[in-house]
Structure 1
Amino acid sequence: MPTIAAPSFLSLSGGGALPVYAANRLSTRAEAGSVAPVSDAPVSTPPAERRTQAERRAESERRLLQASAELIVERGLELTSLADIGRRAGASHAAVNHRFGSKDELVDRLIEQAGEYYAATARGRLRGLTGIDALMELCALYLDLVDGPDPIGRVHVVLWSEAVAHTAERRAAHLDWDRRLRDFIETLLQDAVAQGSVDARLPVPQAAISIVGSLRGIAMQLLLDPGQTDLSTAQAALDVMVRDALRPR
């Protein structure tokens, strides 16, 4: 199987690590018939550790990026201002400007963050998989994140659709994302060919373009008409079609 940490779609600047959005819930259960003793003594609470400047900066950026993703998914990039993002994140317009400088820089960082989110998810879900199974799991997780509750998983689709009408500078980050994704799919296809689970005559680069196009098309339908697009049915149909098209003849 191709090394997941190799330079590819899964190898992005920023280390590919995601912030933890929710803490684990811990539950305790008292033993049957036992009652905890009650004490009148004051309970001492250890002082909270002060966060470093780097930690505060990272948390501030996380809130701003999350707010950006939410608003862009809701109303699109052009109707989302830096002031809107600041209000949603509980920060000032000046704070957003200071952190990102411009909307273009914010979009570049948001696309990078989305890439890190996908990469971290893929590293977990593709572990132990090879060949065509790894490829189809990648396709499934892509659509899972587009349809999931975190707007970071959906925002790149909205930005990608809007980038078509924008300048070359605005499109650059999207092109880089697509190339990384296609490169990684090519790696998985080459691995599958070597294993014998995919036809050796397959034109791998063209097949990767077709697979990315299918994922983008389904993703757009999930966002535009979710009531008429069932995720599990679409994933199952894509799995059958890709496996059948790529199987050795």
Structure 2
Amino acid sequence: MTTSPLRAHVQPRTTARPIPQQRRTQAQRRAESERRLLDAAAELIVERGIEGTSLAEIGRVAGYSHGLVHQRFGSKEALVERLNTEAVRMFTTATLAAVGTTRGLAALRIVADTYLDLVQAEDPLGRVHLVVWTEAVARASERRSYRVTWDRYFRSAFAQLILDAAADGTVRSDVDVDAMSMVVVGLLRGVALQLMLDPAGATAETRAAVLDHLTRMLAAD
């Protein structure tokens, strides 16, 4: 039997040796376990609240024992505080990227818009602060310290944006910066809480109404 010239040039198949996976370092394994635990905690707290979430359940959802949760964070309060820190980092990173080089009232609108994006996003971390805030008002005082810290940070960020916008003439020069930053935060948080309760309200019209109201409150004549 004559061998086809084409077949004669086909090299015999060889079985490729599996490439061994590089072993992760202890630091990498620790970072992964912390991330999975934080993700599970955010998901459960947004769904059930802080009081309705146990460390054992967080460990189970993340695929670890509750002992590892204690080892990584020590207590539920410490875990919630860490979630709060992660939420601040996420908000800061997202808003800085969204604002870019934009300044004035336009930057303020972008920050407000980005905040609403985060609280409506798939990642529950963007909504954890709302649950923590409501429980801090109604429950134990130990949660109020880092809740107050977050609120002051949030208001100070808006206060600086308002000051910058007043300096470039896009916001009224007579605006009371401290009072207005509290009003702006109250507006955004109130809308965000309503959207958590009734996601059907998350329409383009709602978003436009929030931003338009913000503009009317602040815009220079």
TM-score by length of 1: 0.81
Hey, what's the Cα distance between the residues in 1 that align with 2:158 and 2:112?
9
Q: What runs of 5+ residues in structure 2 fail to find an aligned partner?
A: 1-9
Q: Secondary structure at the match of 2:116?
A: helix
Q: Which residue of structure 1 aligns with residue 4 of structure 2?
A: none
Distance 1:212 1:39, change over 3 A: farther
Q: What runs of 5+ residues in structure 1 fail to find an aligned partner?
A: 1-36
Runs of 4+ in 1 over 3 A off after TM superposition: none
Check the 8 A contact 1:192/1:198 in 2, yes or no.
yes
Size of the aligned set, in residue pairs, is 212
Candidates 204, 207, 226, aligned match of 2:180:
207
Amino acid at match of 1:98: Q
Q: How does 1:109-148 map to 2 (within 5 A)?
A: 109-148=82-121
Hey, what's the Cα distance between the residues in 2 that align with 1:44 and 1:120?
42
Amino acid at match of 1:196: G
Check the 8 A contact 2:59/2:66 in 1, yes or no.
yes
Larger radius of gyration: 2
Amino acid at match of 1:180: Y
Deviation of 1:107 (Å): 0.5
Q: Which residue of structure 2 aligns with residue 234 of structure 1?
A: 206
Hey, what's the Cα distance between the residues in 1 that align with 2:129 and 2:155?
15
| 1:91 lines up with 2:78 in the alignment | no
Check the 8 A contact 1:199/1:248 in 2, yes or no.
yes
More helix by share: 2
TM-score by length of 2: 0.91
Q: Secondary structure at the match of 1:42?
A: coil
Hey, what's the Cα distance between the residues in 1 that align with 2:61 and 2:103?
42
Q: Which residue of structure 2 aligns with residue 244 of structure 1?
A: 216
Deviation of 1:45 (Å): 4.2
Deviation of 1:244 (Å): 1.5
Hey, what's the Cα distance between the residues in 2 that align with 1:58 and 1:147?
26
| 1:101 lines up with 2:74 in the alignment | yes
Q: Which structure exhibits the higher relative contact order, with contacts defined as CA atoms closer than 8 Å and separated by 6 or more residues?
A: 1
Amino acid at match of 2:171: V
Q: Secondary structure at the match of 1:128?
A: coil
Moved more, 108-117 or 37-46: 37-46
Percent identity at matched positions?
45
Moved more, 182-191 or 37-46: 37-46
Check the 8 A contact 2:105/2:219 in 1, yes or no.
no
Q: Deviations over 1:76-111 (max 9, x none)?
A: 111100011011101101111111111100110011
Q: Which residue of structure 1 aligns with residue 27 of structure 2?
A: 54
Deviation of 1:140 (Å): 0.5
Hey, what's the Cα distance between the residues in 2 that align with 1:117 and 1:165?
26
Distance 1:239 1:43, change over 3 A: same
Q: Which residue of structure 2 aligns with residue 166 of structure 1?
A: 139
